[in-house]
Structure 1
């Protein structure tokens, strides 16, 4: 007896019982703050430019940034660390390389101290909710609370009676770049700038400013700035250490420029007092930071800002309503959905201005300019989820990519705050553009998109997106001798991008392009070695690279053929030609046996993208479809938990969370640029997806799950039985109700 999950369609809507708690109440921002998840529990609004994260990693001043701490320096917070040096106001979530983590505020009591190692404090009583964070600073008996609007971080510090200080440290951060300006405008206002932009410690020349304006609810009795000299210690490490004493200047109101500077506001309270601190952020100018603060927050209290942000989060999250499952199930589900609403985030100011990529100019958008496109990760499942749940946002993301093409001459690869980091391999933007259009979101300039896609696919002279392209076109693969890292991985990524171009070409009636790119999309076959049964690296003359070890390259070890993975983790990364790969291997039985071995020999990496689709490949094997549901259920139970270590690893700007959201709902988009879903056993008994009526005719799609025993006792009768385990995106949207029923084989 084996369980097979057969999807049934009906066209009646059953009543949906909403959960007693609102979706926002299930969010646990601590999930992912351990086990290298690289999230933080701080306060942020949906898609926020500003966020307030507790900063509990020592940062570049104390550690060689080329070395990792206990859990990377790619994020400002790690759950196990218990020494806090402030609250940073621009941060990233779920990334594998450090940047930002700057504009750090810290409340203290007693005499003024500007050395973060001395003024830092242990802490307790942490609380985190969507849009809210609070903590008790043990050293000072101060309660620090944080919330945020889109472009403004708002803090509330509850001080005891006596001397108190609020520090603004512009020296601390997550990476090497320095350069700051600070100006105390008045006893209630500070303005300034901090340089950022050394993502992954590379491309330092592309550093850029982030501007801020700080407003305090209580005028300071004393204020001033500090400046600490530093020096390089060794050419190899190039990290900073103290050199000399910090100089403090009281009552200083002139602009101060330096590498490691800060400002402070000092008080002497006769009785316990709350002070609210509002910090507006902009990547354009101080004036815009001030306008962002005034227009978004103005005179609103901390409580009022939090209430607005909480409601914004609830509106975002209730796009999906679930019934059944445990409290922990709902928590990990809604926290995953919450994590998908952090990046890409908003870059433009309240007035629409933003820094253009590469031009040095200030642009202006009528919509939303998004940033933080970790596309090597997100093209696989994330943007498909956005197209379904948040089509308005997905279209604005596509328009942002096309604006980058206008400004930069190329589509983005891994863009951050209008800088191109060129991180990872492949041409992922092409996949996202094609997939979005093919899912019916056509409200963008598709001809421009197609032009941009062809440029990256055909320009063999000076192509920053596709290195090794000429060899790829000539031979069908990128060779070991091309100088391109991970030639097998790169070839597979180019194949997927070419498949996407082919599908869009077909939709647009470009028949010759469809044929050309369809042929290019299956050139991975040139790298298949029937003797070993793997996709292997080759030289450009056709000889196999030796020695070949299918295990080499796992756990981020360097490998000649692969990027962030080994031969096992890339063998099935051909989502656009699964049947072709099956035939190449010698049939479905060999394909299945090899797929089984990935899991049996512990070669499946849930924490990384190349093999993320593997559990769903069993649905392509007739008679073995039950293995998909069994494996997906097992993986959810093993890797996703209601705890700080509740992600399998780096969230990759929401990609791991998107996998979970889909999997718990009971379906998944295996093939990018092919608008089809395959089914699995959902976690919940009912899932109601509330559709955006601006784009979709139905108000909602209801997914019901029952076992065969439940079905036999039910009066519900489906309209018809699906022939297989797949459904087209458009048919899915037209189905007011989908019943997933477990039956005996």
Structure 2
């Protein structure tokens, strides 16, 4: 447990996770809830959280840095580390990509500019978790190597360091502006012996992050030393030495801004003024107490209290305020703007947080939700599009979907509308009508083909949900044309549903991507596999059930999901964690799945699974979050599910009932009303609902509405140890269903080869078996498809489906006849997720595009590629051309050497031309395709052998070198011209 420090003597935190820790009493409204927040939860494992001081949704995150790079160093801190490099002022909570760590300060007793990461003497220091304290708004640690005690506290845009040096020691504070990310520009300017200011502009996840700072020392420094005598540039560090005779304790006050140094100074002056360290700490902890009291729970188990209030705390760390006290901020155009009508924010992890975090805000942060949406609209004005994942005025290009859209729609439909609603609707339409990120294909075909865009299945599914929320807002606003358009687009999920396997699959040249393994993590899905995306149709669960064959089939498929082998194949994906079967709670696409049993009238299965996840996937330990915390989403799931319900479909204004973990809870709404939840009789084994009463009346349905919560009242659960009949009767289940403007799914090639020898037999099918499928070859007339047909020449196959006067998109596929006399044999195995179509991929006439994830390249991991093409008879070869992809950021490197040999008998091979040597280890930023040509002189051969040598171990300059990474070879196509 974490001790609540009303006064700060030197307090040692005795084994945060000791089994002998004294249990806290059940919460009462007079108890300080911050006692139950453990900021160390998630700092171990893959949680990627930080333990430092931060105000609710604050701009400054003042926290220790123990790790400089690596995936588990995204927040700058990892619980397994034993050394602290210093204390920086910005950190990301729970992200999967690293950034921030701006303006590092470190107290020490020697002028050392090396951080010590290389094993040489440096300013870093060992520390022990026994000497570390973290509570909301406060952090303290003892630095063992220098015997210095450091304490940190903050306001929204400013913070205070307090350092206690040992008596007689030198007193030096290192200011390191080179720490962590690549520095674009940095400077320190001394204004007086107690004041400095400057800036640090850096490049990491955000390509151009701009931070400015103002610093005040409580005592004048007597000497300053600059690294390499530089006060500006890219290697800016300074050592400030203070007179030891003037006392052992000192404070450093820091203000930050994204605008300029004056803004940082104003933030510091306005927020900190002449307040003492203790006053600032108490004010911020009082702010946290007010935040946490928005939901007050009772529970006999201190661990549940700690898990719950830590989840509340984590859900309120981001988005981050990104605006100075005078209203100035740096927008998405990186220019300075000003507003005083709303607070402007950054760090919107929308692919994660639209699912539960933002719906939680619509209950307990309604005014702030208005600010978030006003921020989206400001970013739309400044940058031309609403953010997908924005960071410090930068579009990061990370993640998929346009999930600012459901955040707005969900808020609007719940009556949260303190923004320009017409402009918001236009911005939503704008996001949905771009041509990037697969949208051009999505709009044209009703799905995204594998060969057109990576992560095509996930993007199709998430766009379809986003479009449904546009349709719901259009309907509420009386926009009938847009309602029809986007309701139809909301059904595009049907185009990636394979009725045979009952999985959502990638369509590659209008066939299903094969060979298919639902456990395989590949480029068709976003941080997931087919198991983890095939239930993602929250907007039309009824339609999904109909495709699968009804309620019982969906139930059976869900049972298989949770009981499947808990291993994945294909590409290693660090985000896929917290596996229960193939349900992956550590990553967001799975978060709604346990609640889908309610839709098939089996709520007891939801209750059992939700309780299992709550108890197994969240613990009061450093690795107590089963995956990246992701800016509040993992925590919001816990908060909702502990209360007993979850927003499966934001925008539907429904909360699906699960099984409450807490004995009692009260949600204090901004209107002054309150909504109470009671579960009785309470016991750990009583996880099954027997009856539910809403405001004293029996509630038979297994869902709530937003209005029922927001108007206040009481929800009472009668719990038991065995499943009951509650929620099992027809009509008591939640429903999401699209019943009008129904589309016809586009037909697909179920069997047959798009690149074939001799001939191929084509079988067509459609997810809607009642639709009429038509096809044509070349420019002929359309024919009703009745049975498989033969194709023996190059042609274009066009297919379309019709039903009830509606017609699907017409899908064209080039059928390519491979020279029947040619064949290819491969010595080494390619990776299945990069098979480009199989064994004949290198001679099938299809050329790879620049994005390796589109599936048109054949990939070889840490192995050479050796292929022999049999021409069928002896030919005079004029040219052999091979294409290779180079995308070094993705570990795809050109071969070091390519050799081309010929043979008449397939046994004895001789060079057809001089081997080509490539400097594949030379760094290149750009993605490019390298064409390698061989021009034999009058070579008469039947067999052509191509050998491409791998790079192997990555070069020292590459990020992957530290992880002992190996290279990939990507090849397509081997073209032999006679």
User: TM-score when scaled to structure 2?
Assistant: 0.67
CA–CA distance in 2 between the matches of 1:488 and 1:515?
A: 23
Q: What is residue 179 of structure 2 aligned with on the other side? A: 172
Deviations 1:263-319 (A, max 9, x none): 222124238511011110000000010010000002211111101100010011100
Q: Contact 2:295–2:668 (CA<8 Å) still a contact in 1? A: yes
CA distance in 1, matches of 2:480, 2:184: 52
Residue number among 124, 148, 158 corresponding to 1:152 in the alignment = 158
Larger Rg: 2
Paired position in structure 2 for 1:478: 448
In the other structure, the counterpart of 1:232 is: none
On the 8 A contact 2:389/2:398 being kept in 1, the answer is yes
Structure 1 residues 322 and 335: CA distance shift in structure 2, 3 A: same
Counterpart contact for 1:188–1:219, Cα < 8 Å: yes
Aligned partner of 1:432 among 407, 412, 415: 407
Task: Tell me how far 1:50 sits from its aligned partner.
Answer: 1.0
Q: CA deviation at 1:407?
A: 1.4
Count of aligned residue pairs for this structure pair: 669
Q: Which runs of 5+ in 2 are unaligned?
A: 1-25, 117-121, 565-580, 726-978
Residue number in structure 2 paired with 1:120: 124
CA distance in 2, matches of 1:176, 1:169: 13
Q: Could you give the per-residue CA deviations for residues 475-528 of structure 1, whole angstroms, max 9, x where no partner exists?
A: 21000121x210000000110111000100111111222122111101111111
What's 2:236 paired with? 261
Gaps of 5+ in 1: 1-15, 60-64, 227-246, 250-254, 554-558
Cross-structure match for 1:583: 546
CA RMSD of aligned residues (A): 2.1
Give the CA deviation at 1:197: 4.1
In structure 2, the residue matched to 1:11 is: none
Partner Cα distance (2:137, 2:434) in 1: 45
Higher relative contact order, chain-length normalized (CA < 8 Å, sep 6+): 1
Q: 2:462 aligns with which of 487, 493, 508?
A: 493
**Could you tell me how far apart the structure 1 residues matched to 2:250 and 2:63 are?**
18
Report the Cα distance in structure 1 between the residues aligned to 2:252 and 2:594, rounded to whole angstroms.
Answer: 48
Q: 2:634 aligns with which of 652, 656, 674?
A: 656
Q: How many angstroms does 1:718 deviate by? A: 6.1
Among 417, 422, 426, the alignment partner of 1:451 is: 426
Contact 1:663 1:682 in 2 (8 A): yes
Give 1:302-341 correspondences, 5 Å limit: 302-341=277-316
Q: For 2:198, which of 192, 196, 220 is the aligned residue?
A: 192
| Structure 1 residue 535: Cα displacement | 0.7
Residue 20 of structure 1 and its aligned partner are, at CA, apart by: 5.5
The residue aligned with 1:233 is none
Query: Which residue of structure 1 lines up, in the alignment, with residue 820 of structure 2?
Result: none
* Distance of 2:624 and 2:31 partners within structure 1: 22
Residue equivalent to 1:239: none
SS of corresponding position for 2:306: helix
Report Cα offsets for 1:660-696 as digits up to 9, x if no partner. 0101111111002111111122111111000001xxx
8 A Cα contact 1:225 1:261, kept in partner = yes
Listed as ranges, the matches of 1:245-394 within 5 Å are: 247=228, 249=229, 256-270=231-245, 273-358=248-333, 360-394=335-369
Q: Give 1:631 deviation, angstroms.
A: 0.6
For the 8 Å contact 1:187–1:223, the answer to whether it is kept is: no
Contact in 1 for aligned 2:209/2:393 (Cα 8 Å): no
**Which structure 2 residues correspond to residues 690-701 of structure 1 after superposition, within 5 A?**
690-693=668-671, 699-701=673-675
CA distance, structure 2, for counterparts of residue 717 and residue 289 of structure 1: 50
Change beyond 3 A, Cα 1:19–1:326: farther
Contact 1:19 1:323 in 2 (8 A): no
Aligned 8 A contact 1:95 1:653 in 2: yes
- For 1:583 and 1:336, the matched residues in 2 are separated by 37
Distance 1:416 1:680 in 2: 34
* Matching residue of 1:642: 620
- Identify the residue that residue 629 of structure 1 maps to in structure 2: 607
Specify the alignment match of 1:729 in structure 2.
706
Instruction: Please give the alpha-carbon distance, in whole angstroms, between the structure 2 residues aligned to 1:370 and 1:268.
Output: 41
Find the counterpart in structure 1 of residue 520 from structure 2: 552
Residues 593 and 262 of structure 1: is their aligned pair in 2 closer, same or farther, counting only changes over 3 Å? same
In structure 2, the residue matched to 1:598 is 561
- Structure 1's 725 and 105: CA in aligned 2 closer, same or farther, altered over 3 A? same
Residues 155 and 503 of structure 1: CA distance in aligned 2, closer, same or farther (over 3 Å): same
Alpha-carbon distance in structure 2 between the residues aligned to 1:636 and 1:708: 16
The 2-side partners of 1:718 and 1:366 are apart by 38
The SS at the match of 1:116 is: coil
- Are the equivalent residues in 1 in contact too, given 2:137–2:154 (CA < 8 A)? yes
The SS at the match of 1:165 is strand
Q: Helix, strand or coil for the counterpart of 1:516? A: helix
1:92 match: 92
Q: Structure 1 residues 222, 735: closer, same or farther in 2, change over 3 A?
A: closer
1:525 corresponds in structure 2 to 494
Question: Partners of 1:370 and 1:361 in 2: how far apart?
Answer: 14
Using the TM superposition, give the Cα deviation of residue 359 of structure 1 relative to its aligned residue in structure 2, in angstroms. 5.5
2: distance between equivalents of 1:545 and 1:212?
Answer: 52
Matched residue, 2:225: 224
Shift of 1:22: 1.6
Q: Which has the higher strand share?
A: 2
Secondary structure, aligned partner of 2:390: strand
Deviations 1:615-640 (A, max 9, x none): 11111111x11111111111111110
1:179 alignment partner, SS class = strand
Query: Are the counterparts in 1 of residues 334 and 393 from structure 2 also a CA contact under 8 Å?
Result: no
Distance 1:631 1:717, change over 3 A: closer
1:435 Cα deviation (Å)?
Answer: 0.6
Q: Helix, strand or coil for the counterpart of 1:263?
A: strand
Give the match for residue 243 of structure 1: none
Contact 2:39-2:136 at 8 Å conserved across structures: yes
What is the aligned partner in structure 2 of residue 612 from structure 1? 591
Task: Note if contact 2:333-2:382 (Cα within 8 Å) is conserved in structure 1.
Answer: yes
Alignment map for 1:375-414 (pairs within 5 Å): 375-414=350-389
CA distance in 2, matches of 1:115, 1:72: 23
Q: Residue 461 of structure 2: SS of its match in structure 1?
A: helix
**3-state SS, counterpart of residue 610 of structure 1:** helix
| SS, match of residue 270 in structure 1 | helix
- Which whole-Å CA distance do the structure 2 matches of 1:610 and 1:177 have between them? 35
Q: Provide the C-alpha distance between the structure 2 equivalents of 1:324 and 1:137, rounded to a whole number of angstroms.
A: 37
Say which of 652, 669, 672 aligns to 2:647: 669
State the distance in 1 between where 2:123 and 2:694 align.
67
Do the aligned partners of residues 271 and 361 (structure 1) sit closer, same or farther apart at CA in structure 2, a change above 3 Å counting?
closer
Q: Does structure 1 conserve the Cα–Cα contact (< 8 Å) formed by 2:183 and 2:200?
A: no
Within the candidate set 491, 507, 511, 2:480 is matched to: 511
CA distance in 1, matches of 2:676, 2:238: 55
Aligned equivalents of 1:100, 1:508: Cα separation in 2: 41
Change over 3 Å in CA distance of 1:680–1:127 after alignment to 2: same
The SS at the match of 1:663 is helix
1:214-259 CA deviation, whole Å, 9 max, x = no partner?
Answer: 1111111222322xxxxxxxxxxxxxxxxxxxx3x5xxxxx82121
Cα offset for 1:17? 7.9
Task: Using the TM superposition, give the Cα deviation of residue 356 of structure 1 relative to its aligned residue in structure 2, in angstroms.
Answer: 1.5
Q: CA deviation at 1:717?
A: 10
Q: Deviations over 1:100-134 (max 9, x none)?
A: 1120000112x322211122110120110000110
Deviation at 1:178? Answer: 3.7
Distance in 1 between residues matched to 2:156 and 2:27, nearest whole Å: 32
Aligned residues of 2:342 and 2:374 also touching (Cα < 8 A): no
